[in-house]
A and B are shown apart, each in its own frame.
Chain A
């Protein structure tokens, strides 16, 4: 990069200033606030931190709730995402573009609006209220509502990740499998899934991070009941409102740690995706595999050997 002359006529000094500014902004807006969360959380020492996390039953419940709601929502998104992406990538049908646009609605709509919409349908006064009451099912102010709201806001993450990958791979390998005698499930498990596995994992990791951190939609449907429907982000906010800043920051630091782990996993997966992309393009992966290069030269003769 440094040796690449640019046509914009920027001097090395200007470039260095721009880079420094970028680091300063990222540092000021992202790194410092994030670091301060950990700083505040641990201000009274690790023992106090641990007490705040583990010895408050409402906080314990909030952590447990987040750890159960998010996986269910992510699992639903995974199944839906794979099926919907396959449908959209493999078939051309009327309304296909419209369907793809609808996948993005949860990104466009404010989570609070999404939460309200769910209340309007599943709440006691809602469209399905009487039916649910008759079935003695409680959705709003309870676990199913949390799952529903979380699923809604994370819906695009897996499907959006898979559509371009499936389109790039194309249907030929699946057709080859069929012509070799494979049934539908065999094609899926042996050909389709292995080909999309890294993109799928990437989508799952993103969806999980979003599900863990979701606040707005969950806030509306949960009713904010401590020890019952408070997830981790809701717990952080409640503790903060009750002027229990260290406890609030302790829970926040758990959320932030999840985010950091997500970031690392995401980075590793992206490296894998990039490597597979190069493989697909028939390019030799970066110089660690000299066998590939020599093979390419030897091949024309080998073909007739």
Chain B
């Protein structure tokens, strides 16, 4: 089912949770609503499910206006953050609930529930109570319960938030495979960018009740639309610089920025991702025009990349460089050593009303 959200606004007292949010979700998409807490992502999900009503705006499903349709008639599967399993019912009865309230025949219910228990790999656990299951198992019961009613769309609120790290990774790979098999339009809320990028076809980054960017994971990561997006998607070094004539300057080092072709010089903010910086020992010919002299503060090894904290010689600003661990071993940097830092890529944002964080 395709979903369209138009100009949805919602306030809780004086707090504006959503401010004219519009969004299109094509049939079969797995979409992530990504943002910090308080960004409005969960409110948007609940409004799409009909569990919360919007102050203004419209929601259509397959072109049909469902804005005022009661949640019980939406036919949407909703997985709650803390699962909200019916604690007094067995796993079997939890999954059967949606079918029982529809007064489906007992035999059909039995067949459907067993099919779902198999799908979520909980065969034989139908008689357990939710309290006798692990977190990952409860999560899968919640999923099976939502799928039992053959929903047109699946909505998941922080589906992996309450699980420990290992189970989380396994379960999200499983959910991705499940989505590929069923092909149902699905939206999930998360504050974890890694989770959003690994799982989703489309990522919507939200902040302060507004959508900052909507695109494929590659688009959002490679071409962040706003300073907020680049900031939110992992650590980044931010500096004050200047732009003029199609180039930005970071301590005199030029970086291509064709979006600003004007001759007049303007102040700008330069965003450098740690993994898009190169680090070398000084003394390579031609280095002074492309690289900035700095000194090493700390070296933090960690798996595939080693993070090096440096201080620039000019201005004394602190910045981070991610170096592949193999290369870091070769360089064998020690605190206090002088190095040259070369930006391969940078993002420049001009200060303007639309870029105020």
Contact = CB atoms under 8 A, between A and B. Distances in A.
Contacts of B50: 179
A42 to B, nearest CB: 44
Interface string A144-178: 00000000000000000000000000001101111
B226 to A, nearest CB: 33
Contact of A302 (B82, B132, B137, B166): B137
A179 B49 contact: yes
Contacts of B86: 173, 176-177, 190-191, 194
A195 B137 contact: no
Interface centre among A180, A183, A300 (most CB of B within 10 A): A180
B131 A179 contact: no
Contacts, number: 107
A41 B228 CA distance: 82
The range of chain B's interface size is 35 or more
B80 A180 contact: no
Contacts of A172: 80, 82, 84
Given A303-B171, A304-B174, A175 B137 contact: no
The range of chain A's interface size is 20 to 34
A299 interface: yes
Nearest to B173: A304
A289 to B, nearest CB: 8
Given A173-B86, A300-B167, 20 more contacts: A177-B101, A179-B49, A179-B76, A180-B101, A180-B149, A181-B72, A181-B73, A181-B98, A182-B101, A183-B101, A186-B101, A276-B87, A292-B132, A299-B135, A303-B134, A303-B136, A303-B170, A304-B170, A304-B174, A305-B121
Interface of B: 49-51, 71-78, 80, 82, 84-89, 97-98, 100-102, 121, 129, 131-137, 140, 145-146, 148-149, 164, 166-167, 170-171, 174
16 contacts: A172-B84, A173-B85, A179-B49, A179-B72, A179-B146, A181-B98, A186-B101, A195-B87, A279-B131, A296-B134, A298-B134, A299-B136, A299-B137, A303-B140, A304-B171, A304-B174
Interface of A: 172-173, 175-183, 186, 190-191, 194-195, 276, 279-280, 282, 289, 291-292, 295-296, 298-300, 302-305
